[in-house]
């Protein structure tokens, strides 16, 4: 895309084709682990995002259309690049798709795009689709979706689906035999992130000495970077479901 800020994901080469519903407040508070890195919300990399908002301003320039959106939680700008390539196929070059997409000032719109930084601190969403919302239920539903996804990332799958989720997590961690074990304990377990839950299931199901498992071992079993394991370890320690044994990097399950 012309004029776009350099792709921060370029160095990592990892594809992230996820589409996450968010609120504008979440977008404004998204963090980068280091400059030029992917933005993160709830410690999870963002792929594409979708958000809703009331259009406060539309400014058409020769290369892009900038929308200012407000969803009640904050304000952000979305830029839609006008690609010269489409001019040929369109009848009028002046008002391209953005004019014909039916959005109007003070109307609600749904925006699909990617969160980028602009001039350092400012954030902008580069979008390829801005569509008007005509059904108010869609608007409300979006916020509830955003809330559900936030809860999934911060507290793990909901308890009702915890059995399925837990079993799958255990299977993903290579502990297929103990798959059903993922569900047990879900009842009295505190809310935790998916990574912490996988680690808990591993500690629960993997045969081990009373010294428990070392962080390196856990990282290898779950196929996770050490930083994630350390964070999940902290989370489980704080929750009081594991304790450190021979050293601070070796944990065992606190059975009770």
Partner 1 sequence: MSLQTPRVLPSHLHAFNPSTAGPRSPPPVRLLGTVTALRGDTATITCGTHGEVTLILKPDSHLQMGKLVEVVGKVAEVDGGLGIKVLATVDWGNPADCDYKIYEKLVDVTHRLKPLFYDSVE
Told to check if 26 binds partner 1 by CB under 8 A, we report yes
Chosen residue from 14, 91, 135, 255 binding partner 1 by CB under 8 A = 135
Closest to partner 1 by CB, 101 or 154? 154
- From the CB of 203, what's the least distance to partner 1, in Å? 29
The C-alpha angle with vertex 164 and arms to 159 and 169, in degrees rounded to 5, equals 100
Report the Cα–Cα distance between both ends of the chain, in Å, rounded. 57
Q: Using the rule CB under 8 A, give the single segment among 18-26, 177-185, 208-216, 228-236 that binds partner 1.
A: 18-26
Q: Say whether residue 164 binds partner 1 (CB under 8 A).
A: no
Binding status of residue 74 toward partner 1 by CB under 8 A = yes
Among 68, 150, 168, 206, binds partner 1 (CB under 8 A): 150
With CB under 8 A, what is the number of residues at the site for partner 1? 25
Q: Does 25 bind partner 1 (CB under 8 A)?
A: yes
Residue from 45, 75, 77, 183 touching partner 1 (CB under 8 A): that is: 75
Query: What is d(CA 43, CA 225) in angstroms, rounded to the nearest whole number?
Result: 14
If one asks whether residue 39 binds partner 1 (CB under 8 A), the answer comes out as no
Q: What is the 3-state secondary structure (H, E, C) of the chain?
A: CCCCCCCHHHHCCCCCCCEEECCHHHHHCCECCCCCCCCEECCEECCEEEEEEEEEEEEECCCEEEEEEECCCCEEEEEEECCHHHHCCCCCCCCCHHHHCCCCCCCEEEEEEEEEEECCCEEEEEEEEEEECCCHHHHHHHHHHHHHHHHHHHHCCCHHHHHHHHHHHHHHCCCHHHHHHHCCCCCCCCCCCHHHHHHHHHHHHCCCCCCCEEHHHHHHHHCCCHHHHHHHHHHHHHHCCEEECCCCCEEEECCC
Which one of residues 51, 67, 108, 200 is an interface residue with partner 1 (CB under 8 A)? Answer: 108
The answer to whether the beta carbons of residues 101 and 55 sit under 8 Å apart is no
Sign of CA dihedral 97, 113, 152, 168: positive
Q: Is 127 one of the binding residues for partner 1 (CB under 8 A)?
A: no
Residue 197 CB, nearest approach to partner 1 (Å): 20
**Residue 143 binding partner 1, by CB under 8 A:** yes
Which of 45, 145 has the CB closer to partner 1? 145
Is residue 44 a contact residue for partner 1 (CB under 8 A)? no
77 binds partner 1 (CB under 8 A): no
The only residue of 9, 28, 58, 172 in contact with partner 1, by rule CB under 8 A: 28
**Closer to partner 1 by Cβ: residue 128 or 231:** 231
Q: Which residues would be at the binding site for partner 1 (CB under 8 A)? A: 23, 25-26, 28-29, 54, 70, 72-75, 106-108, 135-137, 140-141, 143-144, 146-147, 150-151
């Amino acid at each position: 895309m012309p004029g776009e800020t350099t792709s921060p994901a370029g160095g990592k080469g990892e594809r992230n084709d996820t589409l996450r519903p968010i609120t504008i407040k979440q977008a404004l508070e998204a963090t980068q682990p280091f400059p030029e890195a992917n933005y993160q919300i709830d410690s999870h990399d963002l792929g594409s995002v979708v958000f809703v908002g009331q259009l406060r301003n539309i400014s058409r320039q020769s290369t892009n259309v900038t929308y200012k959106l407000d969803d009640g939680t904050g304000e952000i700008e979305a830029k839609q690049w006008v690609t010269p390539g489409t001019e040929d196929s369109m009848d009028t070059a002046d008002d391209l798709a953005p004019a014909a997409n039916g959005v109007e000032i003070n109307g609600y719109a749904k925006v699909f795009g990617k969160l980028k930084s602009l001039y350092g601190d400012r954030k902008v969403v580069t979008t390829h689709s801005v569509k008007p919302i005509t059904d108010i239920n869609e608007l409300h539903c979006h916020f509830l979706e955003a809330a559900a996804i936030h809860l999934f990332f911060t507290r793990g799958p909901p308890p009702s689906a915890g059995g399925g989720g837990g079993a799958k997590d255990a299977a993903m961690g290579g502990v297929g035999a103990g798959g059903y074990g993922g569900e047990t304990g879900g009842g009295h377990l505190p809310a935790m992130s998916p990574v912490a839950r996988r680690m808990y299931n591993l500690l629960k199901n993997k045969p081990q000495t009373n010294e428990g498992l070392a962080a390196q071992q856990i990282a290898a079993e779950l196929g996770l970077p050490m930083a994630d394991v350390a964070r999940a370890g902290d989370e489980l320690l704080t929750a009081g479901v594991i304790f450190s044994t021979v050293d601070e990097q070796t944990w065992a399950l606190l059975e009770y």
